[in-house]
Chains A and B, each alone.
Chain A
């Protein structure tokens, strides 16, 4: 058997075996790469994945709040930048300093913003900056069917959050109350950790999902793919040349 034949046979042998062994990683690379190439069309960033075993792998844990703000027919609960009202997430990222319902309008305050909601969750208005009567909201209070926004030095009252008047009323700030058990059960889903699908696909594609050495594994996969491509071309050319002779 000539030297070349031996080399060809050796290459074919390992080309096939390495190819099969690495096929799974090639599939990971190709499928995730395909998906990430069309991330906008597939809205991958919008899909939230919350499988408990996967979140556990990422080190994310569910944290249900014990207290919240109670409305006549509802509640507001918040934890770590997540705010939920009656089971629906609200687009509020900052810490909530007070929430109260007055004349069927729910007021939710952070230190820099005041949100107005209808009880069904529809946002009515968002006030910040000069639209607010105080620079830094410390709490909310209710008196005589008006909402009172409290600052460090002065409080202001309004019936519609458009016109504000200095308030001398010394009402106690609305405070957090223990959430009923049935509400906490309802919040299991809302406060379950989740990650965008795009993030998970990126981590699979890069190998990061396999841990600290995962990227090296994917680097090795890429090197193997290059080697297989080159060996495959070489085998093909040699085989064609042999046939022609």
Chain B
């Protein structure tokens, strides 16, 4: 006997894709074809990455795109239960644009709206790897906001690393 609560396979989280990775990169460089480069999470940056994220990085290498003083990063971080995919454009050490590329949580997708994301524009990283300006949260999306904060800090940190690579 069952209570009949589940009549089929458990529903997986719904994924909403707002922009593909390719569309984001194309937008970041005004349509110019920029070749992807690779950043390895080496021992020299692992500690800082872990400190920013609050956990070890999920993967050991990632792709990025850069041209002149601009770099573009596509990062993923778990909000409440599911990963949020976000794109970050960094120019001269400051965030130029932040976009949610894919959202998979059942709640909190308000973070994708420009009204929230535009707060990140012009923000940089201070000496202790935190954002140098406060970002106001969104009620009911605390964990998503926190994940975006971590990813923004990471994008800025990675930009510093590729601009001034450590030996």
Are A and B physically bound partners?
yes
Does the CB pair B143–A40 fall under 8 Å?
Answer: yes
B58, CB-defined interface residue at 8 Å: yes
- B side interface size, CB within 8 A: 26
Q: Which of B1-41 contact A (CB under 8 A)?
A: 1-7, 9-10, 12, 20-22, 36, 38
Find the B residue at minimum CB distance from A210: B3
A22-30, A52-60, A172-180: which lies at the B interface? Answer: A52-60
A93, CB-defined interface residue at 8 Å: yes
Chain B residues with CB below 8 A from A81, complex form: 9, 12
Chain B residues with CB below 8 A from A118, complex form: 60
Does the CB pair A45–B80 fall under 8 Å?
Answer: yes
Please, how many angstroms separate the alpha-carbon atoms of A59 and B142 in the complex?
34
Does the CB pair B3–A58 fall under 8 Å?
Answer: yes
The interface bits of chain A over 109-142 (1 if a CB of B lies within 8 angstroms of the residue's CB, else 0) are 0000000001000111110111100000000000
The interface bits of chain B over 99-134 (1 if a CB of A lies within 8 angstroms of the residue's CB, else 0) are 000000000000000000000000000000000000
Does the CB pair A58–B5 fall under 8 Å?
Answer: yes
Chain A residues with CB below 8 A from B59, complex form: 123-126
Q: How far is the CB of A69 from chain B (nearest CB, A)?
A: 21
B61, CB-defined interface residue at 8 Å: yes
Does the CB pair B63–A123 fall under 8 Å?
Answer: no
Chain B residues with CB below 8 A from A124, complex form: 59-61
Please, how many angstroms separate the alpha-carbon atoms of A195 and B5 in the complex?
12
Does the CB pair A125–B5 fall under 8 Å?
Answer: no
Interface of B is mostly: loop
A15, CB-defined interface residue at 8 Å: no
Does the CB pair A45–B81 fall under 8 Å?
Answer: yes
B138, CB-defined interface residue at 8 Å: no
A211, CB-defined interface residue at 8 Å: yes
Does the CB pair A130–B3 fall under 8 Å?
Answer: no
Chain A residues with CB below 8 A from B60, complex form: 118, 122-125
A95, CB-defined interface residue at 8 Å: no
Chain B residues with CB below 8 A from A209, complex form: 3, 5
Find the B residue at minimum CB distance from A115: B59
A-B contact count (CB 8 A): 63
Please, how many angstroms separate the alpha-carbon atoms of A56 and B4 in the complex?
10
Find the B residue at minimum CB distance from A212: B4
Does the CB pair A59–B38 fall under 8 Å?
Answer: no
Please, how many angstroms separate the alpha-carbon atoms of A214 and B2 in the complex?
13
Chain B residues with CB below 8 A from A60, complex form: 6, 10
Q: How far is the CB of A162 from chain B (nearest CB, A)?
A: 6
Does the CB pair A80–B20 fall under 8 Å?
Answer: no
Contacts A40-B80, A40-B143, A211-B3 given; does A131 touch B63 at CB 8 Å: yes
Please, how many angstroms separate the alpha-carbon atoms of A70 and B58 in the complex?
24
Please, how many angstroms separate the alpha-carbon atoms of A197 and B5 in the complex?
15
Does the CB pair B2–A59 fall under 8 Å?
Answer: yes
Q: How far is the CB of A103 from chain B (nearest CB, A)?
A: 15
Contacts A122-B60, A124-B59, A129-B22 given; does A57 touch B3 at CB 8 Å: yes
Find the B residue at minimum CB distance from A39: B80
The interface bits of chain A over 199-216 (1 if a CB of B lies within 8 angstroms of the residue's CB, else 0) are 000010000111110100
Contacts A58-B6, A123-B59, A162-B38 given; does A128 touch B12 at CB 8 Å: no
The interface bits of chain A over 40-52 (1 if a CB of B lies within 8 angstroms of the residue's CB, else 0) are 1000011000000
B residues in contact (CB < 8 Å) with A: 1-7, 9-10, 12, 20-22, 36, 38, 58-63, 80-81, 83, 142-143
A residues in contact (CB < 8 Å) with B: 40, 45-46, 56-60, 80-81, 91, 93, 118, 122-126, 128-131, 162, 195-196, 203, 208-212, 214
Contacts A58-B5, A124-B61 known; list 16 others, CB within 8 Å: A40-B80, A46-B81, A57-B3, A58-B2, A58-B3, A59-B2, A59-B6, A129-B20, A129-B21, A130-B22, A131-B36, A162-B38, A209-B5, A210-B3, A212-B4, A214-B3
